Amino acid sequence: MSLDPAEPPIPEDPEEEIIPYVGPPKLLPVAIKTGEEDFELLMTFKCKLYRFRNEEWKQRGQGILKFLKHQETKKCRILMRQDATYFIRANHLVSETIVKSMFHQFGYEWIGQDHSDGETKLEQFSVKLESEEDFDKFYQQYEECRILNKDED
């Protein structure tokens, strides 16, 4: 090996294969199944969800609550995913009763058979909505879904 800068460098091993750099790999889009493919989106609300446990209301999550209607059975359900993590915080059919919350100014309470933790449990929920307009729309949508579920039984 020569130390003269005018001479090109000579490879140490002449049989060594030099692989050119081609850049980072191209990633193809991947279809992600959410379980919502068979459902029609009826309405969404930005809210905080609470669950009644151990004689007190505890925050279950904050995110987007969706009213979904199954395309075949026409049953309506509530699905809420946590912001950023997208963990399921509520997943149940719309139940028969809903009452104005004593806990929040713009909120409602209901009881539902929840499936969000992997097992079915009867849970009491409360939702806190952002505005009076959302408060009214939520109740109207809940009532429409309740009637749809009652008619399908």
User: Which residue's entry shows tokens 């929920």?
Assistant: 125
The domain ranges of the chain are 39-152
pLDDT confidence of residue 2: 54
User: Which residue's entry shows tokens 């699905």?
Assistant: 79
**pTM of the entire predicted model:** 0.75
pLDDT above 60 for 1: no
- What pLDDT, in 10s, does the model give residues 59-98? 999 999 999 999 999 999 999 999 999 999 999 999 888 8
CATH of the domain spanning 39-152, picked from 1.10.600.10, 1.10.3370.10, 3.30.365.10, 2.30.29.30:
2.30.29.30
How would DSSP label each residue in 13-52? STTPPPPPP--SPPPPP-----S-TTEEEEEEEEEEEEEE
Mean pLDDT, residues 37-54 taken together = 94
Computed over its alpha carbons, how large is the radius of gyration of the chain? 27
- Total Cβ atoms within 10 A of residue 57: 17
- Distance, CA of 142 to CA of 79 (rounded, Å): 13
**In sequence order, which residues have a C-beta less than 8 Å from that of residue 110 and are 6 or more positions away?**
95, 97, 98, 99, 124, 125, 142
Mean pLDDT, residues 11-39 taken together = 82
pLDDT confidence of residue 13: 66
